[in-house]
Structure 1
């Protein structure tokens, strides 16, 4: 059995534990923000690539129109086929880029911010969830079981 610490030792360790917790929360927030920013950056790069392809598409369409006026079939028809291929590439790049930006644009649902709010509420004495919800609501529902008393339990829960 490990020796128990005295109340004085525990109180002396508390400030350092609070500092460590704050540093860990800030580190977690930085990681989440950098992940979101990376997704927005990749989406923006794909949209920029789509813009470059759009410039090529426009030049091929101009070339196709020019060849269509000068020739009967072969040169301008081949230019239109190349333009169609460029249009498909443009559409794919633009759709993927827009999807990545939409997926990563919301910075309001960061887990680190919720965790910091919970920590502040604990320090203020408001408990885990100051909004009145059960702290066990944060756990995945698959791990929950119903005990003999009908109360909801989570594996490892001692109540």
Structure 2
């Protein structure tokens, strides 16, 4: 740690001391404010980037695992579709059985795709909410300090 932050430093060297601020010129106070605001902005940007990266990583892993599951389910549904066509083909012509099963699959698939698109649209944009709230709190604190 620097001498400014050490506990055994003289009180005049600690940055938060009231009489220390009385001894600083306006230029020094503005420089200190600029440094503190710059540090705060850098910290908030770093937190926002970290939050977005974490969300992106979690999303990527979840999408990969879900994709593997969907592929396996696709093969299973393919086998079920073939079974349904063969089952209907015992009572109807094979082409008619395949047409009926295809029409049902297209109708159900359309409904599911529309529901998925609606959910995906509601999930965007991936805003770093905690960081945005923290920045708002920082701005409110600065506004209160200026009054």
If the length of structure 1 is used for normalisation, what is the TM-score?
0.45
Query: Between Structure 1 and Structure 2, which shows a larger proportion of helix residues?
Result: 2
If the length of structure 2 is used for normalisation, what is the TM-score?
0.48
